[in-house]
Structure 1
Amino acid sequence: MSAVLAPQVEMLPMNAGDLDEIMTIESAVYPFPWTRGNFADSLAAGYSAWVCRVGGELVGYVVVMQAVDEAHLLNISVAARRQRMGFGARLLRHAMQVSRRLGAASLLLEVRPSNAAALELYQHFGFVRVGRRKAYYPAHDGREDALVLVHSLAEVKA
């Protein structure tokens, strides 16, 4: 009998050496992607930034800004061919755990109302809507609002 081992899933701190792979994913999954400079600036600012690798392949990443007792999810993305496989949930859970360990009581984020997959993920984790930012995101036909969601990290295990 032979056993097949699944590739190891790793959450690793993002570094400048990851940026080429990140930009490949970012430009493929978003019509208005972050720039390489956005990621480099986030790293330089010391934001909590992580990559998810499976058997060495970069499948997703997350960037969170810590601000006193609140964390702000700035970017979370999964490669198109790896979506709907649980990697977004792993990245979000990891971001929540790290944010809690760093002293955040809540995690705040903005999401496009048109991003059904992201909304489903956030609702699954218990995020609640606390506001709307008018014309927040660029869109092909002008601007799109952002829904503002928040999640208490009190119950998240550090």
Structure 2
Amino acid sequence: MSALLHIQPSFRPMREDDIDVVVAMEHAVYPFPWTRGNFRDSLQSGYSCWVCQHNQYIAGYAVLMLAAGEAHLLNITVGLEWQGKGWGHAFMQYLIAIARDYHAETMYLEVRPSNTVARRLYHKLGFEYVAMRKAYYPSHYGREDAVIMLLDMKKYA
């Protein structure tokens, strides 16, 4: 699917007062969401936390850990009403640029094998399969594995 952005998103650092909206979106999108404490801890720990927005409306958010020449995408979410419109692709490009600005040589992420839309996006952006992490995510049927993916920033165009 090739989605075009008709409205350009803007990006800004996440603030403490965004957490209510972020948590509500997290609960709307995921059956096993992060908690308010997860987001608060990420902000307080100095992780690179971002929101994607249109005007003043938060359309998505992300948490990126940057250290030792690596970036690790811990969470990225686009709200249900913004999905399939190119916002995830634009947000990922922005996060990759942030990682590059911090001189990250690699960027890692985990994704559910069942999340084929996200896996297709990551592959399109140049991420490659690294390994499978067994029983990483909670699911309605016990645990689901995680696909570990890597972007070599030197190869990213």
Q: Residue in 2 aligned with 1:45?
A: 45
CA distance in 1, matches of 2:53, 2:17: 13
1:103 Cα deviation from its structure 2 partner: 1.6
CA contact 1:97–1:156 (8 Å) conserved in 2: no
Q: Residue in 1 aligned with 2:90?
A: 90
1:156 Cα deviation from its structure 2 partner: 4.7
What is the letter of the counterpart of residue 119 of structure 1? Answer: R
CA contact 1:19–1:36 (8 Å) conserved in 2: yes
What TM-score results when the alignment is normalised by the length of structure 2? Answer: 0.92
- Alignment length (residue pairs): 152
Whichever of the two has the greater Rg, that structure is: 1
Q: Residue in 1 aligned with 2:3?
A: none
Instruction: State the identity as a percent.
Output: 46
Helix, strand or coil at the partner of 1:113: coil
CA contact 2:126–2:156 (8 Å) conserved in 1: no
CA contact 1:53–1:59 (8 Å) conserved in 2: yes
**Structure 1: 5+ residue runs without aligned partners?**
1-5
Q: Residue in 2 aligned with 1:3?
A: none
1:9 Cα deviation from its structure 2 partner: 2.3
**Structure 2: 5+ residue runs without aligned partners?**
1-5
Q: Residue in 1 aligned with 2:68?
A: 68
* RMSD of aligned Cα (Å): 1.3
After superposition, what is the alpha-carbon deviation per residue over 1:63-94, rounded to whole angstroms, capped at 9, x for unaligned?
Answer: 10012011100000000011011111111111
After superposition, what is the alpha-carbon deviation per residue over 1:20-56, rounded to whole angstroms, capped at 9, x for unaligned?
Answer: 1101110000010000100000001111111011021
Residue 10 (str. 1) matches residue 15 (str. 2): no
Q: Residue in 2 aligned with 1:118?
A: 118
Q: Residue in 1 aligned with 2:19?
A: 19
Helix, strand or coil at the partner of 1:130: strand
